Amino acid sequence: MGSHMCDLLLAEGMRVICLDNMLTGTERNVAHLSDDNRFTLTRTDVIDPVAVEGGVDYVLNLASPASPTDFDTLAIEIMRVGAWGTYHLLELAREKNAVYLQASTSEVYGDPLVMPQTEEYWGNVNPIGRRSVYDEAKRYGEALTMAYHRKYGLAVRLLRIFNTYGPRMRPDDGRAIPTFISQALRNEDVTVHGDGSQTRSICFVADEVDGIFRLLMSDETQPVNVGNPDTEVTMRLLAETIVQLAGSSSRVVFRPQPFEDDPKHRCPDITRAREILGWAPSTGIEDGLRSTIEFFRALA
């Protein structure tokens, strides 16, 4: 998603400095920007203090591993970037008198007890479960962001991203869509965890970054959900749809759920995004999945 955000910001005439340690990213996603003198890629880790020369108008913090498979293998890294990374980028924004955008997540709602989730919902999170490293890191990031806003008057934006997908995802990302697509293109069994009845609302990346940009350009300091409530789909139907769109001979099979706190339902209320940002997603689920499948097919 960061690479798509770089594309949009450059298209809006901005200069972009991209900071990434490539822990879960790849330079391939921004290779097409290498000849643009307005774009700079710096290999660095924001858990260390961040120094940027010259003026900075906006600081966007999208830094964190976010796949469920990362929650075990990169648990400490997720907590460190959620704490120290957020602190260092807030300090950079304060030093430069820049607008700061914190990319939070629907995971702050945990396994929600209300549907759909509004920004006023405080969530249902297990603070010591295997998913908690991501949930709590993002909740901490929101709290620290608001502390800077209240103490220093820092201009902040709080973005709550719901499941986003599209070209440039890692084939081995571990999340449902890249996993299902990769398996379908190899004509392997497509594995669904649990009974497949759990739902997610999936938002195509072009719609997501449009919402992010609109929030960045607004004056809104309270959290805003950016996701697609019209594409809530069960994992079983999502797997079956991907198999069909990929022209695959794969079977859909079911495996035990690896996480005890896996949310059963996830769907955003985007009333605030519609009213404040004039934003709504426009990409249908089949169009978005076709584009993503073709990206993975070309990668293979």
- At 153, which CATH number? 3.40.50.720
Q: What are the tokens at 152?
A: 């220093």
Name the band, by pLDDT with cuts 50, 70 and 90, for residue 86: very high
CA gyration radius for the chain?
19
| Domain membership flag for residue 174 | no
52 in any annotated domain: yes
If pLDDT is split at 50, 70 and 90, which confidence band does 257 have?
confident
Domain assignment present for residue 251? The answer is no
AA letter at 250: S
For residue range 24-68, list pLDDT tens digits in order: 999 999 999 999 999 999 999 999 999 999 999 999 999 999 998
| pLDDT (0 to 100) of residue 172 | 86
Mean pLDDT for the chain overall: 96
Q: Please state, in angstroms and rounded to a whole number, the distance separating the CA atoms of residues 218 and 48.
A: 29
Asked if residue 112 is part of any domain, the answer here is: yes
User: Which pLDDT band, with edges at 50, 70 and 90, does 259 fall under?
Assistant: low
Residue 258 has pLDDT above 80, yes or no: no
Q: So what's the pLDDT on residue 262?
A: 75
Which amino acid is present at 241? T
Q: Is 109 a catalytic residue?
A: no
Q: What is the pLDDT of residues 145-171, one digit of tens each?
A: 999 999 999 999 999 999 999 999 998
DSSP for residue 159: E
For 54, the domain range is 2-166+204-231+264-283
Q: Which of 109, 134, 148, 165 is catalytic?
A: 134
Position 15 in a domain: yes
Least confident of 80-84, 129-133, 212-216: 129-133
- The answer to the question of residue 13 being in a domain is yes
- How many domains would you assign to the chain? 1
**What is the C-alpha to C-alpha distance for residues 260 and 194, in angstroms, rounded to an integer?**
11
Its sign, for the CA torsion 228, 234, 237, 243, is positive
Residue 292 pLDDT level (bands cut at 50, 70, 90) = very high
Average of pLDDT values for 250-277?
89
Q: Alpha-carbon torsion 242, 246, 252, 258, what sign?
A: negative
How sure is the predictor about 273, in pLDDT bands with cuts at 50, 70 and 90? very high
Question: Which secondary-structure segment (H or E) carries 19?
Answer: strand 16-20
Containing H/E element for 202? none
- Is the pLDDT at 300 greater than 90? The verdict is no
